Amino acid sequence: DGGSITGKNLLFVVFLGCMIIGIVLMCLLSKRDEKRDNASTHSSFGAMLKYIVAPLKDRRMILLIPLIAYSGLQQAFVWAVFTKSIVTPVLGISGVGGAMAIYGASDVVCSLVAGRFTSGLHSATFIVSVGAIVQAVVLFWLLLFYSPVEGLLGAAIPLFIGALWGVGDGVLNTQLSALLGLLFEDVKEAAFAQLKVWQSGAIAVIFFLSPSITLQAMLILMAASLVVSFGLFLLLTLVVEKPSSIRA
């Protein structure tokens, strides 16, 4: 506020420190099996592209892509819309950091818990359902009932919303990775490439739309995306379980 850049410099140092530590840790990763490495080597760019696109021919990936895209939408929503339209009017710009810290802490705790209890498709389905319900409750409450309130209660509401939203994000972060590993064991690299492509595209959509549409319109978009993606995810579980029941 006073024109000092000390805070920004400290933040940049933290970012650079995390990057350096991440690079060092990456260099310490153990080598993969040589035979597997050789099998996954592609002779040309065309062969590599064909390998990356291969999961799109699988209906399981088609049914999972909407949930992947929603995971990107909900991340961008909390960064671009939640901070601007819900936190700032009540807590001011100075309150954004605290609200996002609570969101991040909730995200971390939920990620650890959800990852701990993930053991297969059934557990992942249950955990994703919990996260989807939590975010659906938040979206419909914001859409139908929310209005800024003064006082201590008004200041606590954005923080509580951030904590609940972090639960959903933590669930999606862990369970999407687990599902891709379970369902696409033979093409994991290509499956995770699809994850980042659709997530990044969805994030870009929210950042492009947020300056142009109202909070109500954004909430309707998010709620519709959640309902559609979660419905297709439940259909995916039926598609995956049906062959198993037939074999049994």
Domain boundaries, the chain: 50-242
233-248 CB burial, b ≥16 within 10 A, e <16: beebbeebeeeeeeee
Q: Which tokens hold the place of 15?
A: 């970012």
pLDDT in tens, 54-99: 888 899 999 999 999 999 999 999 999 999 999 999 999 989 999 9
Which of the residue ranges 41-55, 148-162, 228-242 would you say has the lowest mean pLDDT?
Answer: 41-55
* pLDDT class of 42 with cuts at 50, 70, 90: low
CATH number assigned to the domain covering 50-242: 1.20.1250.20
What separation in angstroms does the CA of 229 have from each of 150, 157, 191? 35, 27, 18
Residue 43 pLDDT = 61
- 12-26, 36-50, 125-139: least confidently modelled range: 36-50
pLDDT of residue 223: 96
Tens digit of pLDDT for each residue in 87-144?
999 999 989 999 999 999 999 999 999 988 888 888 999 999 999 999 999 999 999 9
The DSSP symbol for 146 reads -
What does the pLDDT read at residue 31?
A: 67
SS3 helix, strand, coil % of the chain, rounded to 5? 85, 0, 15
Q: What is the mean pLDDT of the chain?
A: 88
Confidence band for 163, pLDDT divided at 50, 70 and 90 = very high
Scan for tokens 């999961």, then name that residue.
55
What pLDDT score does 243 carry?
Answer: 64
Using the predicted structure, report yes or no on whether residue 183 has a pLDDT greater than 70. yes
Tens digit of pLDDT for each residue in 31-41? 665 455 444 55
pTM: 0.85
* Contact present, 202 and 57 (Cβ < 8 Å): no
